[in-house]
Amino acid sequence: MTAEQAHEQGSYIGQALRRREDVRFVQGKGRYVDDIVLPGAAWCAFVRSPHAHARIRSLSTQAAAMRPGVLLTLTAEDWAKAGHGELTVVHPMAFTDGRPMNAAPRPAFARGNVHHVGDIVAAVVADSRFAAEEAAEAVEVDYSPLPAVVAARLAVKGAAPLVHEQFGTNVVFEIERGNRHQTEAAMASAAKVVELELTNNRVSANPIEPRSYLCDYDAASDRYTLYATSQQPHYLRRWLSVYTLHIPEHKLRVISPDVGGGFGAKGLFSIEVSTVVWAAQ
């Protein structure tokens, strides 16, 4: 039975159907964010922390701002002056005893301390990718390194350095399900108890296409069009509106063209997108 015959009979169930979306991809005709060209588009490069934990003693973008092609430099101070917000945990998980989870807000730019390698401290917008990247290297940041912990097993020990000192612990949340007393009683009366300790390796989605965002701002209508490599464009629009930039949702259109792999990673909110949309304005 052909696909046409199956369609005529009103059923595709149990039929071997040919994929319809593959032809343009194997011919190199996919359309990703990087393929979209807007006249006069600028480029954004981020300055990131080389330390897992450090205090920012000083930060200067003055030298970077003087580099050829640079249009704009941005830091946490600029973000605060603009009145923008921070990303928070959208679906928090409470402790078993009802305590709220230890959820630190996610700022667009680190303030005071950096909490991981790659934490963003500044951004440079320029008229070309290379101008932005070269100027980003001219941003001067003086760090005072702090003790860091990189293993989960060590992070929960009492003397471990704290990622966020305000919580007094590195445990974000802890959930216990079931009846502890009944479980312990069953284990105590069991003829044989087998213990198994498993180590879960760190895993990360690794799509071929990295995160990519392109935003076009129309000053006449005060509206934004964001092209995003996103698996959840509607959520992305809402988070930008509610949490970070406070743009009315009806003024922000998010278009997700072909996505070069996601595996769940592009269903999340990457904080860089907030800066890209803001810089477009």
Looking at residue 223, what is its pLDDT?
98
Per-residue pLDDT of the chain (281 residues; tens, 9 = 90+): 555 665 566 677 878 888 888 999 999 999 999 999 999 999 999 999 999 999 999 999 999 999 999 999 999 999 999 999 999 998 899 999 999 999 999 999 999 999 999 999 999 999 999 999 999 999 999 999 999 998 888 999 989 999 999 999 999 999 999 999 999 999 999 999 999 998 888 888 999 999 999 999 999 999 999 999 999 999 999 999 999 999 999 999 999 999 999 999 999 899 999 999 999 99
Looking at residue 19, what is its pLDDT?
84
Amino acid letter for position 9: Q
Task: Give me 7's structure tokens.
Answer: 């369609």
Looking at residue 17, what is its pLDDT?
81
Complete domains list, the chain, with CATH:
1-30 (no CATH), 33-173+201-280 (3.90.1170.50)
Looking at residue 204, what is its pLDDT?
86
What is the rounded distance in angstroms from the CA atom of residue 26 to the CA atom of residue 215?
28
Looking at residue 262, what is its pLDDT?
94
Contact 73, 61 (CB under 8 A): yes
Contact 47, 63 (CB under 8 A): no
